[in-house]
Amino acid sequence: MQLVINGLSKTYGNGVKALDNVSLTIPTGMFGLLGPNGAGKSTLMRILATLQEADSGSAMLGTIDVLKDKHEVRKVLGYLPQEFGVYPRVSAYQMLDHIALLKGVINNGDRKAIVEALLQKVNLWEQRKRRIAGFSGGMKQRFGIAQSLIGEPKLIIVDEPTAGLDPGERNRFYNLLTEIGENVVVILSTHIVQDVQELCSNMAIINKGQLLYAGAPNDALHAVKGRIWEKSIAKSELDGYNAAHTVISNKLIAGRPVIHVYSDARPDGFESAEPTLEDVFFSHINGAFRSVAA
């Protein structure tokens, strides 16, 4: 089973082109969709989750036409949206039980077994009688995973799952995601490079609705190896370096800017830097990679 997206485009009524002819093949396993805010990730996720219409293009999940056979997609879809909106004042157990019923698990015994197993799996068993409205961000996300797993989905879509989680909650969430079967297509949409680095065997980078990279994170790292250079500079020098070099990132370390520059040859005074996925991300986002590679 794989998800094959072909020439998908979407322009909103206000003229914003959120997706511009995106083609992507997504195999089973964890796939990271990386892009800055506004890149078009949620638009793509919502179209794949049958919540929004595309203008043109196609998406096939195995033999299911995702844009046309919405009912078939929903049977095999687990969706964890960016935000659930209003959290109900019912308990985690009641809510999961209700969602399982909606997903067609009619037999009471079956439903009890599924709900109990999921509560254990996402480590919310102790909190099963508490109202979801009072949950922490991490607990809400784990509840979100539990509800998305009802019905043994073949396609799981997780939209910006770690935004707002503290490091401990994020780790627990990562561990949970990695337990989800290898035989399922899991798309993790995020603007956080670390999410993709830690979890994903394949990834894509999008910006302004366009696909900039698709492939394995390791191959992406390899492609920029030997072209990332680093220098610690004074704040007042930043504009000058920006004008003279392709600066792909600028981080403060102990109050001093440390810049990364993309270049085939070592610029004067710079040290070679081992590329990170963040370097890959920024060199694609600001066009450095394409302009140099082209």
Q: Give the pairing type, strands 247-253 and 256-262.
A: antiparallel
Could you tell me the smallest distance in angstroms from the CB atom of residue 283 to ligand ADP?
A: 19
Closest to ligand ADP by CB, 38 or 62: 38
d(CA 283, CA 261): 9
Q: How far apart are CA 92 and CA 98, in angstroms?
A: 10
> Which lies closer to ligand ADP via its Cβ, residue 48 or residue 259?
48
Judged by beta carbon, residue 14 or residue 236, the one nearer ligand ADP is 14
CB of 52 to ligand ADP, least distance (A): 8
Quote the CA–CA distance of 132 and 165 in Å, as a whole number.
16
Give the residue with the Cβ less far from ligand ADP, 41 or 227: 41
CB of 17 to ligand ADP, least distance (A): 8
User: What is the amino acid identity at position 24?
Assistant: L
| Whole-number CA gyration radius for the chain | 21
Distance CA 10, CA 17 (A): 6
The C-alpha atoms of residue 241 and residue 213 are separated, in whole angstroms, by: 27
- Taking the least distance from each CB to ligand ADP, the nearer of 57 and 62 is 57
3-state helix, strand, coil in the chain (%, to 5): 35, 30, 35
Give least dist CB 14 to ligand ADP, A: 5
Number of CB atoms found within 10 A of residue 227's CB: 23
Q: List contacts with ligand ADP (CB under 6 A).
A: 12, 14, 16, 18, 35, 37-43
- Return the number of the residue (18 or 124) whose C-beta is nearest ligand ADP: 18
With CA atoms as reference, report the closest residue to 77 among 122, 110, 45, 124.
45
Least distance in Å: CB of 9 to ligand ADP? 12
Residue 221 three-state SS: helix
We find the least distance from the C-beta atom of residue 46 to ligand ADP, in angstroms, to be 8
